[in-house]
Structure 1
């Protein structure tokens, strides 16, 4: 395939870190709130064959609970790893010792 040029490879950027636990928790709360707000209109959704809207919100909230558990465990593991690295480096603030 001589017509295709190969793009130069680049190193992948560092992942962006942010308030992951708060973001997932907020999203989960929103899914559950939408589910609860739709419950009084269950009959309206059923009459129009739109019950999937209600159950999608319930599924989003349920999966969000799994997500909260996952990101909290991930956050704790990252903190344990950082503490272990700091201890292994002799408490040098998490930086590797430099050699001269």
Structure 2
């Protein structure tokens, strides 16, 4: 079996409204939990109670995700502000990585 080698470079990662996306997903998981909660007895009788708890776990992990992406977004903005202030102060262009 031949070793696979890439034929082209990987594309740059896409940046978008990450905080809004994670927040929307977290809200969706929590709404699904609330919708299923009144039917917990039915889910339990049919061996599907894990559906309810999966939605709650998704909402809980989503809260961690919101915390993470907000801190990441703030760090990216701080880094960009530092780079911009360094460039305007020294008049030099930062080196490309």
Alignment correspondent of 1:72: 70
Q: Give 1:4 shift.
A: 2.2
- What is the CA deviation profile of residues 3-36 of structure 1, one whole-angstrom value per residue up to 9, with x for unaligned ones? 6265355433211000000000000000000000
Pairs within 5 Å for 1:5-16: 7=5, 10-16=8-14
1:96 aligned onto 2:93: yes
Task: Report the count of equivalent residues.
Answer: 93
In structure 2, C-alpha distance between the alignment counterparts of 1:29 and 1:22, rounded to whole Å: 10
Pairs within 5 Å for 1:1-100: 4=2, 7=5, 10-90=8-88, 96=93
Runs of 4+ in 1 over 6 A off after TM superposition: none
The structure where helix makes up a greater share of residues is 2
| TM-score normalized with structure 1 length | 0.83
| TM-score normalized with structure 2 length | 0.85
Which protein has greater RCO, CA pairs closer than 8 Å, 6+ apart?
A: 2
In structure 2, C-alpha distance between the alignment counterparts of 1:6 and 1:48, rounded to whole Å: 46
Unaligned runs of 5+ in 1: none
Higher CA-based Rg: 1
RMSD between aligned residues: 2.2
